[in-house]
A and B are shown apart, each in its own frame.
Chain A
Amino acid sequence: MADSIISLKEISKTYKAGPNTVRAVNKVSLEIDRGQMVSIVGHSGSGKTTLLSLIGGLTKPTSGTVKLNDTDIWTLPDKEQSLLRNRLIGFTFQFASLIPTLNVFDNIRLPSTFDGTALVSPERVQELMDKVGLGDRGHSYPSELSGGEQRRVALARTMINEPQLILADEPTGDLDEDTEAEILAIFRQINEGGVTILIVTHSKAVASQASQTLKMHKGHLTENLENS
């Protein structure tokens, strides 16, 4: 039997938008096995990002359960849920998600400092900078980096706590083809190391890299395709 890292049961998320109630995610159930690279595609407003946020514990489902490694994350108090996010999950976003006042080196190691116990070695930070091709940019600030470089720093930061799961929201959006290819190569490399990756994307090129593609439409999971 396959080992699930993500298990969603009848998960829904509704919002109030003025007088209307928007059902962003509607009774989605899903199991994702450890070590998979899965893409989520769909039109804008189909609920992809909301689904990703529900999985990552960034927003609370209106109903249903979200289990990561068999732990129902919404039964945990904030401190434990935050620790779980810190240790188990790595997030990357479409926007430049670096802290502008910290240099590359400090941005990468920032997540390792939150719980007050783990302190990664400089060698580990350097190893990640080398891995994303920015080995000599440790002292640079985000404003001195290109969009692609910032994205790579964010990826290195995602890896600092050796997460089991990476949740990526449009990680290559607004990047040129070459940079997109570089980022995808890094994702593949990470996935080959056994890390489960879930990517929300509009890009067919990105989706084709995944072993599995989920399609969303109006809050429903409409297709679940195994890629060849």
Chain B
Amino acid sequence: MKRIGLLNLAAQNLKRKPFRSIVTVAIVAIAAGTLFSATLLISSVQQSLKVGMKRLGADILVIPEGAEESSESALITGVPTSFYMDESVLDEVRSVPGVDQASPQLFIESLISAACCTGHVQLVGYDPDTDFAVSPWLEENTQGPLGDSDVVVGSLILANKGETVKFYGQDFNVVGVMDATGMGADESVFMQLDTAYRMAEESQQDALSALDVQRGQISSVLVRVNPEVTIDQVAQRISTNVPGTVAVTANEISRSVTDRLSGFLRGFIVLDVIVWVMSLLTIAAIFSMIVNERQREIGLLRAMGSNRNYIFKLMLTEAVLLTAAGGLAGILIGGATLFIFKAVITASLGVPYLWPPLWYFAVLVLGTLLLSVLTGALASLYPAFSSSRLEPYAAIRQGE
């Protein structure tokens, strides 16, 4: 025979007024869902920036003046872009004091919906002799350096390892699919710089629209800074010493994303604080009402031999059950909303997105649940305490 435990009795009590219970759950769900989804969004953006910047591997990105916005879009959200400068920039950058390594990249937009091409993506040519961004990944994940007709693709490119993709009328073998970063790299295709130049040359015959890229042109220079100097110092020197270019630090890119997000999140946080305070007050009011309504029953339980602690725990358990249910519902709804509308949210905010690791997800779920439950416990503390202090006889009489 099952014991009539506190949990069981509390759950039965909550079924008495289903509408009131549902409203309480809904209020907590809104608070918990808002908190959960906002925190998950921030964490996912931060996670994406962390992984994406690590993949970029550079402290500074040197690009032509005026290309700041499109390069950031390409890097963060993978919007294909192309801009060029002379490769002589590379030597000028190398000569700047504090530059440890510098490697050129070439950006090419593939054609939109052309029969010759796999899709509208960013093609990135890198120099295998100086590269420190793509090569380390290749060393770990493929047989060796890329061949003349080989490419590696980002995680969102619809091609598997071993398949062939076509750009500007030429076929390329996919020799690897990179791990997701949540950033533009996921929608990019990487090939050797020489392969990219050759593709441009042969596009005159093979492609629907010829590429206007010449050998000797590059799009950016990735820079690693000597550990003895600060990144900002070196960026400043490059901007001064290499005319016609802009040196953007990885931190600046991250900060620009964070800044963009913070405006949106500030409103979100204010809203969430208001919702939490409202839910705290509402639960407190609801439980004061419950105690009032059930005075006779509380007196009766005391007459039957339950002690004050039992009554206190019963009320607290009811509050905890309601808020735990609300927290859980909020997490599910908030998580699902973010999952479904991820693309819309990230596109409208212009931020990268990468789901955080599972352990972080678990901590976030538990944290939100704990906060929900604590809210319930805190809100019901006074009603629960006062109900436990009711004199049984007075409670029975007042409830009549």
> What is the CB-to-nearest-CB distance from A207 to chain B, in angstroms, rounded to a whole number?
23
Do B304 and A111 touch (CB < 8 A)?
yes
Q: From residue 374 to 400 of chain B, which have CB atoms closer than 8 A to chain A?
A: 391-394, 396, 400
On chain B, which size bracket covers the interface? 20 to 34
A58 near B303 with CB under 8 A, answer yes
Would you call B297 and A99 a contact (CB within 8 A)?
yes
Contact A101 B304 (CB under 8 A): no
The interface residues of chain B lying within 8 Å CB-to-CB of A106 are 4
How far is the CB of A209 from the nearest CB of chain B, in Å? Answer: 23
The reply on B39 being an interface residue by CB < 8 A is no
Interface-forming stretch among A85-93, A177-185, A186-194, A211-219?
Answer: A85-93
Q: In the complex, are the beta carbons of A78 and B305 less than 8 A apart?
A: no
A78 to chain B: which residues have CB within 8 Å?
A: 307-309
**B9-17, B53-61, B82-90, B348-356: which one contacts chain A?**
B9-17
Q: How far is the CA of A52 from the CA of B271 in the complex (A)?
A: 54
- Is B296 engaged at the interface, CB distance under 8 Å to the other chain? yes
B305 contacts which of A93, A100, A115 (Cβ < 8 Å)? A115
B358 interface residue (CB < 8 Å to A)? no
Contact B300 A97 (CB under 8 A): yes
Q: A-B pairs with CB below 8 Å: how many? A: 82
Q: With A59-B392, A59-B394 in contact, is A111–B12 under 8 Å at CB? A: no
- Give the CA-CA distance A110 to B12 in the complex, in Å: 13
Known pairs A110-B304, A119-B1; A101 contacts B16 (CB<8 A): yes
With a CB–CB cut-off of 8 A, which chain B residues contact A95? 296, 400
For the residues of B in contact with A, the DSSP-based class is helix
A4 within 8 Å of B (CB atoms): no
Contact at A121–B1, with CB atoms within 8 Å?
A: yes
CB–CB B302/A82 < 8 A: yes
Nearest CB on A from B216, distance (A): 83
Is B98 positioned at the interface, with any CB of A under 8 Å from its CB?
A: no
Nearest B residue to A88 via CB reads B305
Q: Look across to chain B and name the residue whose beta carbon is closest to the beta carbon of A87.
A: B305
Q: Is the CB of A114 within 8 A of B12?
A: no
Say whether A59 contacts B305, CB under 8 Å.
no
Check: A22 CB closer than 8 A to any chain B CB. Answer: no
What residue of chain A has the Cβ atom nearest to residue B388's Cβ?
Answer: A78
Contacts of A21-55 to chain B: CB distance below 8 A: 50, 53
Give the CA-CA distance A58 to B3 in the complex, in Å.
26
Residues on A with beta carbons closer than 8 Å to the beta carbon of B306: 82, 86, 114
CA distance A114 to B311 in the complex (A): 10
Establish whether residues A93 and B16, one from each chain, have CB atoms under 8 Å apart when the complex forms.
no
Query: CB-nearest residue of chain B relative to A102?
Result: B12
Does B310 interact with chain A (Cβ within 8 Å)? yes
Contact of B304 among A59, A114, A122 (CB under 8 A): A114
Please list 19 pairs of residues, one from A and one from B, whose beta carbons are closer than 8 Å in the complex, sorted by A's number: A50-B393, A56-B303, A58-B302, A58-B303, A58-B392, A82-B310, A85-B304, A86-B305, A87-B305, A95-B400, A99-B12, A99-B300, A101-B12, A102-B9, A102-B12, A106-B4, A110-B4, A114-B310, A119-B1
